[in-house]
Structure 1
């Protein structure tokens, strides 16, 4: 995921956290240890975009990963200074 995000959002700073252990045994936990993630991303290109547009951009960058290999991805996307 980090490579895809870096390619789609050049110059962005982000933190990707694997939260799967917190969801062990819950719906969507496939036992792989890679089912639930949180992403905090700051990118200048998000300036002027709505929260929904930012989340759509992140999901587009990740392709079929959310919903296929990743059950849940919490996204906090902002522009610098927000």
Structure 2
């Protein structure tokens, strides 16, 4: 497990234990019910690339090709 994976898991645990539910959220489900979310504020992480701490998790699929295409489009 990578450094980013550990931070991701800690953030998820923190959201589940200490998060608050949104009120009057704009997103809605197909049936019209409001789609509230649980969140925390002020979460951040720092990575030291010289120690191999790359900010991409391996726990979820990351669309690397899409990110590269978007960066390529920006710099053209």
Taking structure 1 as the reference length, the TM-score comes to: 0.24
- TM-score, structure 2 length as denominator? 0.25
